[in-house]
Copies of this chain bind each other. A is one copy, B any other.
Amino acid sequence: MDYAKSAPREVRALIRAEKITGHTSGMCDGYAQANLAVLPAEYAYDFLLFTQRNPKSCPVLEVSDRGSRSLKKIAPGADIARDIPRYRIYKNGVPEGEYTDVSKFWREDFVSFLIGCSFSFESELIAGDIPVRHIEEGKNVPMYITNIDCESAGIFHGKMVVSMRPLLPELAVRAVTLTAAMPRVHGAPVHIGDPESIGIGDIARPDFGDPVTIKQGETPVFWACGVTPQSVIMSAKPSIAITHAPGHMLITDIKNVLLK
């Protein structure tokens, strides 16, 4: 069962019951998925300003009220602390562990940031006859930490993380056009071609996710990625942060077409 045709609410229930614990790529066709960053309120202003200054990597879909595990707009009824298949906890910038449920760690001063995800534009790419390799190969998308500096805000600074999809050059152009129209889910690519010029040493060894096949004649196309906050959290070292594990997203009730 690939859950491509399932409703977000149903898949979230299976995730909450820990019947789904893997990555969510390709699930709930047509619905937006979201990256998560949870921070204590003392860091919330700096982080929100960071997202404003880095809209390509951090397009905010919703910010929770302080202490709340609920979302009003993008996923009413969801529990932020239980409805993601896999979470990561960072302490002082160091990943401390992965969990399928973080409700026992929740604090009254936590603020949750839900950030748009490139999975949203993949159905648009597929509809435009553009192949998405990691979906074809049943893998998580490959993600890389680049040498591109984010614009800093308060304590938050660090390098941009990108996701990569290999495409024939003529399809890369079409992919730019289609994704440029979706700025709330990272928008147009940040780079096309030579991985080294953005600090990626080995395209076959992504920092997060899985490697995918790059066929003869294809060029790698890179989009800003919602895992960027994790790279930034590692640099900024807030006392605690909770994120999703890369590729393991919150599936929202918002249709991708409404993010255009």
Q: Which residues of A contact B (CB under 8 A)?
A: 44-45, 48-49, 51-53, 60, 63, 183
Provide the residues of chain B in CB contact with A53, threshold 8 Å: 63
Query: What is the total number of copies of this protein in its complex?
Result: 2
**Majority secondary structure, A binding face:** helix
Q: Which of B45, B51, B60, B183 contacts A45 (CB 8 A)?
A: B45
Q: Choose among A44, A51, A63 the residue with the greatest number of B CB atoms under 10 Å from its CB.
A: A63
Provide the residues of chain B in CB contact with A49, threshold 8 Å: 48, 63
Question: How many Å from the CB of A107 to the closest CB on chain B?
Answer: 17
Provide the residues of chain B in CB contact with A60, threshold 8 Å: 52
Distance A49 CA – B45 CA, assembled complex (angstroms)? 9
Interchain residue pairs with CB less than 8 A apart (13): A44-B45, A45-B45, A45-B48, A48-B48, A48-B49, A48-B52, A49-B63, A51-B52, A52-B52, A52-B60, A52-B63, A53-B63, A183-B183
Provide the residues of chain B in CB contact with A44, threshold 8 Å: 45
Distance A155 CA – B60 CA, assembled complex (angstroms)? 21
